[in-house]
């Protein structure tokens, strides 16, 4: 796979591969194993690193599942982004933050990285 | 008038109404103020008109920096590098940054041991205004945190947990372009009521037999000559370390040092530490950097932004002063951080962004274990005991760093203004510190001799004619650069003395 992944590339690859290969038990979730490219072109290795770091600090797979489901079922990128944005703002307001790669981000962002890295792992 | 103590005949007696020990920023301002009131003033300055390595070596000593669960650092060089022993003192290398202490800094905070001044910010305000006039700066309002009328786009809505902290920059400092500091020194030296003896080192304060008055001062020159100096009133203005050193060393009548009724002399030493890790401490703005303009309230030549925890935030967290300074733009991150920030940018619909270098500062609270003491068996060339500084940060501030930083990061995120870079915990803060030249607290001000060295008029408790000027009297130190406050206190002291000394 190319170094960068985008929505089109991911969907094509996921469609071609069919069933997902879950490489980490913590990444297992009930929703279909796909993700969205709402964030545009991202460095796959970097996202995987962030996702791993998040999961090393947090054990709440359900929260990651919820974000993955949101991304997977997204039909409207703008709407999905707005939903994520609302969660992120709620996190920051409540002080729900995590330090990843030396940066403070919201828990929702951490879940986004974990969900996106799941795609990378499966592909 | 500038004079040279080394040229006096051995055993000379120097007399004046007021003797000021130390020709730095506080001492020279006091000399002018008292001279304006018609009072004859003698200033005894250890150094000459410029720095000299031999004179500077009198500052040598031993120093450690530490804190709970942090590795201790040896920093002996700091004692020489952080101050200047010549006419003008450390003002010769000062960058000119000015800010008043905040109202909360003067209050007793029940969650911080030994906090509180016997003065309020309101009491100090007229003296702050006059100090600003001396430094040719605009006045700071009592509630400087409010920045009335100025927009704060970084924290556009919700509670004001962090606010801009105005800083002024004066040209009346030695280390700035187009400095006027030479004029400041000349104004004192040329005053008709002021005599300044250079190369005049104080080695002992001689007390009266009853210990209630200063009888005279011992003066020693590096050419071997010794003199005596006598006055109605004495003011120590030798700097935040030397003030305590001389009081501790003058122990022939008061065995534990002058003013050391409650073992506070030398204790409660505070400094201001910058906390940063090279290349790992920054703020990624998710806005155009133009949003910072309102924070650059004093319009220095380069944008220099200071954001601080509000008094309400400190109360809510039972925390301490905390600031984030954003001096300049730096290069973008790469790798995982770049991906994280790309996601943040998308979520905030940010079309532009900028990464700013950052450093954090956290208040050093009064701590009895943070102290100056004397090394009795190590003497300098003047036979004065060398000083030992054990600078200790405590759990009161180290344990509040991460919660306060996390709140700052949350606020930036909540307002979609940015993300904060920092990795580490309370246990590696001391290793990430670089110290400023601010030396505070070693002759702390308190209403009672039971909890301090000087009273609210800077008079040494129990001694009728001895005063201390400078940042050593600060019981707490906030985060504001101390010079404006020490000049304001010097002006207040001069007013106090004017009414008590006949011309």
- What's the ipTM? 0.87
The closest of A95, A120, A119, A114 to A106, measured between CA atoms, is: A95
CATH number at residue B499: 3.50.50.60
Q: In this model, does residue B188 exceed pLDDT 70?
A: yes
Average pLDDT over residues B29-57: 98
Same domain? B37 vs B86: yes
Same domain? B412 vs B345: yes
Instruction: Give the SS3 label for residue B136.
Output: coil
Average pLDDT over residues B259-288: 93
Taking an 8 Å cut-off on Cβ atoms, the answer to whether A89 and B344 are in contact is no
Same domain? B34 vs B115: yes
The confidence score (pLDDT) of residue B149 equals: 44
Q: Which of B343, B348, B358, B407 has the most A C-beta neighbours within 10 Å, making it the best mutation to test the interface with A?
A: B343
Least confident of B104-118, B347-361, B487-501: B347-361
Residue B482 lies in a domain: yes
Question: How close does chain A come to B332, measured CA to CA in Å?
Answer: 13
Q: How far is Cα B139 from Cα B133, in angstroms, rounded to an integer?
A: 8
The confidence score (pLDDT) of residue B38 equals: 97
Q: In this model, does residue A31 exceed pLDDT 90?
A: no
The closest of B387, B427, B298, B306 to B63, measured between CA atoms, is: B387
Same domain? B297 vs B226: no
Q: A104 contacts in B (CB within 8 Å)? A: 405-406, 409-410, 413, 419-422
The confidence score (pLDDT) of residue B399 equals: 94
Q: In this model, does residue B477 exceed pLDDT 90?
A: yes
Same domain? B37 vs B179: yes
Q: In this model, does residue A35 exceed pLDDT 80?
A: no
B421 reaches A (C-beta below 8 A):
yes
Q: A92 contacts in B (CB within 8 Å)? A: 410-411, 413-414
B242 reaches A (C-beta below 8 A):
no
Number of domains in chain A: 1
Q: How far is Cα B254 from Cα B196, in angstroms, rounded to an integer?
A: 29
Is this prediction's pTM over 0.95?
A: no
Same domain? B335 vs B255: no
Q: Which of B347, B417, B432 has the most A C-beta neighbours within 10 Å, making it the best mutation to test the interface with A?
A: B347
The confidence score (pLDDT) of residue B25 equals: 98
Same domain? B182 vs B284: no
Average pLDDT over residues B318-346: 92
Q: In this model, does residue B36 exceed pLDDT 80?
A: yes
Taking an 8 Å cut-off on Cβ atoms, the answer to whether A42 and B335 are in contact is no
Band of pLDDT at residue B347, cut at 50, 70 and 90: very high
The confidence score (pLDDT) of residue A24 equals: 38
Same domain? B401 vs B479: no
The closest of B264, B281, B369, B370 to B328, measured between CA atoms, is: B281
- Burial environment of residue A56 by CB neighbours within 10 A (0 to 12, 13 to 18, 19 or more): exposed
Band of pLDDT at residue B116, cut at 50, 70 and 90: very high
Percentage of chain B beyond pLDDT 90 is 83
Q: In this model, does residue B321 exceed pLDDT 80?
A: yes
Same domain? B186 vs B293: no
For residue A86, the chain B residue with the least C-alpha distance is: B347
Residue B62 lies in a domain: no
Band of pLDDT at residue A28, cut at 50, 70 and 90: very low
Residue B322 lies in a domain: yes
Q: In this model, does residue A18 exceed pLDDT 50?
A: no
Instruction: For the sheet with B418-421, list strands across it.
Output: A97-100, A103-106, B418-421, B282-285, B354-357, B329-330
Band of pLDDT at residue A3, cut at 50, 70 and 90: very low
Number of A to B CB contacts under 8 A, please give it: 93
Same domain? B294 vs B246: no
Same domain? B474 vs B445: yes
Q: In this model, does residue B235 exceed pLDDT 90?
A: yes
Percentage of chain A beyond pLDDT 70 is 67
Phi, then psi, of B484 in degrees rounded to 5? -60, -40
Average pLDDT over residues B132-138: 94
Q: Which structural domain range is residue A42 located in?
A: 4-22+31-122
The confidence score (pLDDT) of residue A9 equals: 45
Of A43, A85, A104, the CB nearest to B419: A104
Number of domains in chain B: 2
Report which DSSP code applies to B1: -
Tell me the longest C-alpha to C-alpha distance in chain A.
41
Same domain? B336 vs B289: yes
Band of pLDDT at residue B293, cut at 50, 70 and 90: low
Of A53, A97, A112, the CB nearest to B343: A112
Question: How close does chain B come to A39, measured CA to CA in Å?
Answer: 6
Residue B75 lies in a domain: no
- Cα–Cα distance list, B406 to A94, A105, B344 (Å): 11, 10, 17
Q: How far is Cα B272 from Cα B287, in angstroms, rounded to an integer?
A: 30
The confidence score (pLDDT) of residue B503 equals: 74
Band of pLDDT at residue B289, cut at 50, 70 and 90: low
Q: Which structural domain range is residue B334 located in?
A: 142-168+273-363+394-428
The confidence score (pLDDT) of residue A25 equals: 36
Residue recorded with tokens 């070693």: B442
The confidence score (pLDDT) of residue A22 equals: 33
Q: In this model, does residue A122 exceed pLDDT 70?
A: no
Interfacial B residues in 271-300 facing A (CB < 8 Å): 280, 284
Residue B231 lies in a domain: yes
């Amino acid at each position: 796979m190319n170094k960068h992944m985008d929505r089109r590339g991911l969907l094509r690859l996921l469609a071609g591969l069919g069933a997902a290969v879950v490489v980490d038990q913590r990444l297992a979730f009930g929703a279909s194993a796909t993700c969205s490219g709402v964030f545009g072109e991202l460095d796959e290795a970097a996202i995987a690193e962030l996702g791993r770091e998040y999961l090393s600090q947090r054990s709440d797979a359900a929260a990651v599942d919820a974000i993955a489901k949101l991304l997977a079922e997204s039909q409207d990128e703008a709407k999905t982004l707005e939903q994520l944005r609302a969660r992120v703002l709620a996190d920051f307001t409540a002080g729900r933050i995590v330090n990843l790669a030396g940066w403070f981000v919201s828990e929702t962002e951490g879940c986004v990285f974990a969900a996106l890295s799941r795609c990378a792992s499966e592909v | 008038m500038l004079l040279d103590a080394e040229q006096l005949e051995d055993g000379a007696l120097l007399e004046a109404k007021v003797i000021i020990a130390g020709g730095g920023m506080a001492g020279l301002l006091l000399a002018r103020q008292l001279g304006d009131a018609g009072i004859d003033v003698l200033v005894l300055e250890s150094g000459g008109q410029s720095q000299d390595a031999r004179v500077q070596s009198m500052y040598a000593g031993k120093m450690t920096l530490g804190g709970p669960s942090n590795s201790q650092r040896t920093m002996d060089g700091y004692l020489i590098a952080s101050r200047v022993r010549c006419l003008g003192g450390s003002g010769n290398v000062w960058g000119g940054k000015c800010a008043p202490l905040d109202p909360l800094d003067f209050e007793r905070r029940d969650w911080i041991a030994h906090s509180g001044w016997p003065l309020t910010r309101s009491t100090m305000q007229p003296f702050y205004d006059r100090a600003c006039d001396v430094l040719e700066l605009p006045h700071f309002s009592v509630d400087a945190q409010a920045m009335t009328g100025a927009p704060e786009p970084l924290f556009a809505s919700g509670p004001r947990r962090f606010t801009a902290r105005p800083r002024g920059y004066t040209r009346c400092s030695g280390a700035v372009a187009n400095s006027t500091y030479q004029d400041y020194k000349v104004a004192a030296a040329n005053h008709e009521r002021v005599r300044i003896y250079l190369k005049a080192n104080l080695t002992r304060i001689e007390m009266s037999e009853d210990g209630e008055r200063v009888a005279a001062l011992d003066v020693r020159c590096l050419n071997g000559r010794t003199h005596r100096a006598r006055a109605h009133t004495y003011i120590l203005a030798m700097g935040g370390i030397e003030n305590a050193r001389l009081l501790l060393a003058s122990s022939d009548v008061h065995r534990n040092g002058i003013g050391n009724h409650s073992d506070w002399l030398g204790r409660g030493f505070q400094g201001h530490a910058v906390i940063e890790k090279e290349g790992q401490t920054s703020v990624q703005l998710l806005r155009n950097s133009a949003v910072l303009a309102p924070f650059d309230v004093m319009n220095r030549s380069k944008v220099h932004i200071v954001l601080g925890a509000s008094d309400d935030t400190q109360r809510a967290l039972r925390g301490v002063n905390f600031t984030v300074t954003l001096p300049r733009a730096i290069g973008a991150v790469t790798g995982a951080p770049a991906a994280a920030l790309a996601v943040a940018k998308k979520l905030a619909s940010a079309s532009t962004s900028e990464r700013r270098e950052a450093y954090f500062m956290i208040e050093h609270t009064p701590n009895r274990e943070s102290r100056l003491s004397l090394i009795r068996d190590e003497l300098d060339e003047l036979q004065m005991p060398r000083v030992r500084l054990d600078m200790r940060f405590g759990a009161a501030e180290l344990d509040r760093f991460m919660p306060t930083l996390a709140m700052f990061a949350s606020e930036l995120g909540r307002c979609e203004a940015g993300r904060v870079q920092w990795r580490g915990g309370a246990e590696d803060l001391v290793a990430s510190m670089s110290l400023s030249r601010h030396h505070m607290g070693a002759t702390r001000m308190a209403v009672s001799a039971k909890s301090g060295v000087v009273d609210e008029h800077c008079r040494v408790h129990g001694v009728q004619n001895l005063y201390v000027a400078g940042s050593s009297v600060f019981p707490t130190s906030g985060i504001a650069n101390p010079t404006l406050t020490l000049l304001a206190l010097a002006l207040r002291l001069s007013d106090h003395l004017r009414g008590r000394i006949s011309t």
